[in-house]
Amino acid sequence: MTGLPLIALVGNPNAGKSALFNALTGARQKLGNYPGVTVERKAGRFSLSDGRPIELVDLPGTYSLNPTSPDEQVTRDVILGKQQGERLPDALVVVVDASNLDNHLRFALELIALGLPTVVALNMVDLATRDGLELDAAILSRELGVPVISTVAVRKRGLDHLRTELESMLDGSAGKVRASTDQLDFDGLRKEARRIARAAIVRETPSRRMTAAVDRVLLHPVAGFVILLALLFVMFQAVFSWAAAPADMMEGWVTALGETVTAILPPGILHDFLLQGVVGGVGAVVVFLPQILILFFFILMLEATGYMARAAFLMDALMARVGLSGRAFIPLLSSFACAVPGIMATRTIADSKDRLTTILIAPLMTCSARLPVYGLIIAAFIPARSVGPGIGLQGLVLFLLYVAGIVGAMVAAWALRLTVTKGQSGGFLMEMPKYQWPRPQDIVIGLWQRAIIFLKRAGTIILMTNIILWVLASFPQAPAGMRQSEYSIAGRIAGGIHVLVEPIGFNRDISLALLPSMAAREVAVSAIATVYAIDAGDDEDAMNRTLGERLQGRWSLATALAFLAWFVFAPQCISTIAVTRRETNGWKWPMFMIGYLFALAYAAAGLTYWTAVALGLG
């Protein structure tokens, strides 16, 4: 790749590695994958004080060089120079948490013993001070035999010091790595770490630990649970109420862009293609960016504050009842954003059957790609009125859809555990990190990366699917008196699907949207938008109505509700299926997943439709 010197950040989970990485590299980051494994490679660039560029790679956090998961394996292999697609680092920055020295120094000693040029970043010194710990970096440095620099990711001074140290290190001798670390004895390292930690701690004032005080409330068996539910509820309300203004603004831009196309281009096929296939279709998806960012904002905040592990703790007893590990809660919660990283995150689950069950139910968590679909239908069919103080009906319906996904997942896990993934349940072992205020910079970088990923999807997979759909839906041209969306090739394919889904209340519009939305769920929205745009043709009145208004005229409430119920379960996402195949090493489990989820989707949509019709909503 690049010929730049490579420095690896390595350390225990919760040592504040990512915050340090963000502080050093800022927005100059690149996310990728290591070849052959699905472990994310996070790299970035920064300059030394003399302007020399350096490549920094943030390795997955691990407790030792004795890996128990593929992520930890990558960390070990990179450091030993055995990882395919990565050169041996020129130097290591070992990140240790200043308030957890005993534990983190053991791993630091293991790393120093490898013989690569090493600097220890004594991180989160501010939190240690808060806990009444006073440390002497000089003693630590003397005992460890490598430079030790006190850092707090938000303060510049420590970072400058770290840069200077790396500079002199890179000017020194090149690194060699010892072939093996197997002869290091765990107990010996632990004792040595303990001795050094004691020497380096110059004062320890018993202070009221903030984390313990907060945990008394947040981990309380009753209060903690109520708070968790309230937090999730606020999150889903916010997705609707906060996003309204920016989404309206973006919708305005999309409309303006469409008008510009109409003004510039003469009527004809190019005009129709751009207006209906590109602006109409992709635009319909892009306006959901604010909602997706709000959702990610909450998830990033929960992770950065340390609350996520508490949520897993609170949920473990319930997860155990359906045969899952409490650890499964974290991949499942990430799946609310997207099932792909969620399924990848199951690698922290040691037990293979626990892990497989978690993978199989992860797509039931309501991912952000469903938001455009839910958002469109809810805004069009559910009145925006209040059903209580601070509780909007639209937000409530969205919350219920999330609950339906969770309940569905729990029932599915329970059933799977009794049948295909039968066996002894694994355990739940987890570190509870200290609480800390998230650094605004970290949250902004996280949101920025998510926005880029979403817009890339809109510009590639969604755009391509939409272009194909536009062509299929535009030709052959319907004779006068026939609807274009029925006469075209796409319309005829939809006719075939329609036969299958008519019993569950799906109309032809939905039948037409189902096939392209196999690529990604949001495509359902852009597909419907495109088809309506084609049908509207040059009819100004029709063009001026929003997508939601057009839906109101064409769908019954029962159909809309059935459509929502379908999307709670249906496995319509190529990326999820692909990552499941990769993570389970074959087609057996992804095929099983597709089968059981479609069956559930069909049943759920059908039950919803028939019930709604019986209640007179048809």
The residue ranges that bind other proteins (CB under 8 A) are 63-64, 66, 68, 99-103, 186-187, 190-191, 194, 211-212, 215-216, 219-222, 225, 309, 312-314, 316-318, 320, 326, 350, 427-432, 434
At closest approach, how far in Å is the CB of 432 from other proteins? Answer: 4
Q: 511 pairs with which residues across the strands? A: none
**For residue 346, what are the contacts with CB-CB under 8 A and spacing of at least 6?**
328, 331, 355, 358, 359, 362, 583
What sign has the CA pseudo-torsion 101, 102, 108, 113?
positive
- Backbone φ and ψ for 423, nearest 5 degrees, come out as 155, 175
CB of 333 to other proteins, least distance (A): 16
Residue 89 Cβ vs other proteins, minimum distance, rounded to whole Å: 23
Closest to other proteins by CB, 257 vs 430, is 430
By beta-carbon proximity to other proteins, the closer residue of 318 and 615 is 318
Residue closer to other proteins by CB (options 82, 216) is 216
- CB nearer to other proteins: pick between 218 and 304: 218
Min dist CB 404 to other proteins, Å, is 22
Nearest residue (CB) to other proteins, 232 versus 504: 232
Residue type, 428: F
Q: Measure the CA–CA gap between 530 and 276, rounded to whole angstroms.
A: 5
Do residues 34 and 19 lie in contact, with contact meaning Cβ atoms separated by under 8 Å?
Answer: no
Query: Which C-beta is closer to other proteins: that of 100 or that of 572?
Result: 100
CB of 429 to other proteins, least distance (A): 5
The strand pairing partners of 94, in sequence order, are 10, 120
Secondary structure of residue 215 in the 3-state scheme: helix
CB 363 within 8 A of CB 573: yes
Residue 49 or residue 68: which is nearer to other proteins going by CB?
Answer: 68
The two three-digit tokens of residue 565, written as one number: 């119920």
| Minimum distance from residue 283 beta carbon to other proteins (Å) | 46
Distance from C-alpha of 411 to C-alpha of 415, rounded to nearest angstrom: 6
For other proteins, the closer CB: 307 or 506: 307
Q: Could you give the CA distance from residue 62 to residue 114 in angstroms, rounded to a whole number?
A: 16
Work out how close the CB of 227 gets to other proteins at its nearest, in angstroms, rounded to a whole number: 13
Q: Using the structure block, give the residue that is written with the tokens 């029925």.
A: 486
Round to the nearest angstrom and report the end-to-end CA distance of the chain.
60
Euclidean distance between CA atoms 245 and 290, whole angstroms: 9
Beta-carbon contacts of residue 600 (< 8 Å; ≥ 6 apart): 408, 412, 569
CB-based contact 148:137 (threshold 8 Å): yes
**Residue 63 C-beta: closest distance to other proteins, Å:** 4
For the record, the structure tokens of 294 come out as 């709000």
Dist CA 501 CA 606 (whole Å): 9
**Cβ atoms of residues 445 and 22 within 8 Å:** yes
Minimum distance, C-beta of residue 17 to other proteins, in the bound complex (Å): 16
CA dist 530 and 248 (Å) reads 20
Q: Which is nearer to other proteins, 225 or 242 (CB)?
A: 225
Q: Which is nearer to other proteins, 230 or 615 (CB)?
A: 230
Rounded Cα distance, 296 and 571, in Å:
21
* Separation between Cα atoms, residue 538 and residue 536, nearest integer Å: 6
- CA-based nearest residue to 260, from 247, 278, 233, 246: 278
Closest to 567 in 3D by CA, of 513, 529, 499: 513
Residue whose CB is less far from other proteins, 427 or 548: 427
Nearer to other proteins, 107 or 532 (CB): 107
CA dist list (Å): 40 to 31, 256, 454, 485, 551:
7, 39, 17, 42, 41
Smaller CB distance to other proteins: residue 98 or 169?
98
In the complex, least distance from residue 211 CB atom to other proteins, rounded to whole angstroms: 7
User: What is the closest distance, in whole angstroms, from the C-beta atom of residue 316 to other proteins in the complex?
Assistant: 5
Burial category of 586 from C-beta neighbours within 10 Å (exposed 0-12, middle 13-18, buried 19 and up): exposed
Nearest residue (CB) to other proteins, 381 versus 428: 428
Whose Cβ is closer to other proteins: residue 245's or residue 318's? 318
The nearer residue to other proteins, 114 or 494, going by C-beta atoms, is: 114
* Closest C-alpha among 396, 213, 234, 232 to residue 315: 232
Q: Minimal distance in Å, beta carbon 314 to other proteins?
A: 6
Three-state DSSP state, 544: helix
Short-list 189, 151, 175, 178, CA closest to 63: 189
User: How far, in Å, CA of 142 to CA of 148, rounded?
Assistant: 9
Contacts of residue 19, Cβ cutoff 8 Å, sequence gap at least 6: 123, 153, 154, 439, 442
Confirm if 482 and 537 have CB atoms less than 8 A apart: no
